[in-house]
Amino acid sequence: MEGPQDELMFSIGTPIGRLDGIFSKHGLKELSLGSKKARSNEVRLLGELSDHRTEQLREYLSVYFSGRDPGMLPLPIDLSGLSDLRKRTYAELSFVGFGATTTYSDLAERLGMPKGARAIGTAVGANPYLLVIPCHRVLSKGKGGRSALGGFGAGLDVKRWLLALEGHMNDISGL
């Protein structure tokens, strides 16, 4: 059984605040917004002095926050303990590339659940892999054909900022 001694906790300062994360022996287990006050590019490890995984993640995030597409994360993601629906949702969501968006209902249709937008919304809302699994790119269907922001666990101000970084300024209602 995996315990805390098998995990590496870390923090990375970014333009949206401090991202806190955990690597297990199987891969990235969590990446979430910690404090909006820490905005340096410093990597702080808890328990170890250095780790190649945090350096790869920091480089990935540096490319992203420079406004360029970093592609897929070059590290494994630890999906252990997640439901099949969440695993399938995150796998599909990982293909929504930089600068692209989708809606909860479109994502549900692609997963063979045409009436499952709420279930998909719940899975997306529980995403423990901020930015790596791009839940900020999932929007609600708005009126008049325009997409609306929907929700976002890290806050709508962060979602607006991330979408603007990716080039969405005028095509989303509420942005």
Q: Looking at the annotation, which residues are catalytic?
A: 135
The crossing angle, in degrees rounded to 10, of helices 84-93 and 117-125 is 80
Distance CA 144, CA 65 (A): 31
Rounded (10°) CA dihedral 57, 63, 69, 74: -20
Q: What residue has token string 């360029």?
A: 68
Q: Which residues have a Cβ under 8 Å from the Cβ of 97 and sit 6 or more positions away?
A: 69
**Taking Cα atoms as reference points, which of 57, 68, 78 lies closest to residue 14?**
57
Cβ neighbour number for residue 57 with a 10 Å cutoff: 24
